[in-house]
Amino acid sequence: MEPDPVQEPDRVADASDPAVALAMRIMAEEGAVSDEATLAEELAAVKAEYAEARDEDRPALMRQIAQLSMRQAIAREARKKFLS
């Protein structure tokens, strides 16, 4: 089964270390989804909702987008720090 590139952000960047590449491949094959990937999916859904939202609903959705973006950046930095 070919892993979904959206499922694991920065997979190619992490593939420079064979051990990390192997671990990422095993996780993808077993269906494990990182927090970073889950947040990316949630963020995409909220952005799509924002695009179709009424003007009065947009401020709340923008707050959600900002929070999810921040949480995703924190997860990305934590992963990079863990792998370095």
Residue type, 58: R
Question: CA–CA separation, 81 vs 22, rounded Å?
Answer: 18
Angle (nearest 5°) at CA 78 between 19 and 83: 20
Nearest to 49 by CA among 40, 38, 60: 60
Q: What is the pLDDT, as a whole number, of residue 83?
A: 73
Q: Alpha-carbon Rg of the chain, whole angstroms?
A: 15
Q: In this model, does residue 77 exceed pLDDT 50?
A: yes
> What is the model's pLDDT at position 81?
84
Confidence of residue 47 (pLDDT cuts 50, 70, 90): very high
Q: Give the pLDDT confidence score for residue 55 in this predicted structure.
A: 96
Q: Spell out the domain ranges in the chain.
A: 11-83
- Specify the higher pLDDT residue, 30 or 8: 30
pLDDT band at residue 19, thresholds of 50, 70 and 90?
A: confident
Phi then psi dihedrals of residue 6, to 5 deg: -75, -25
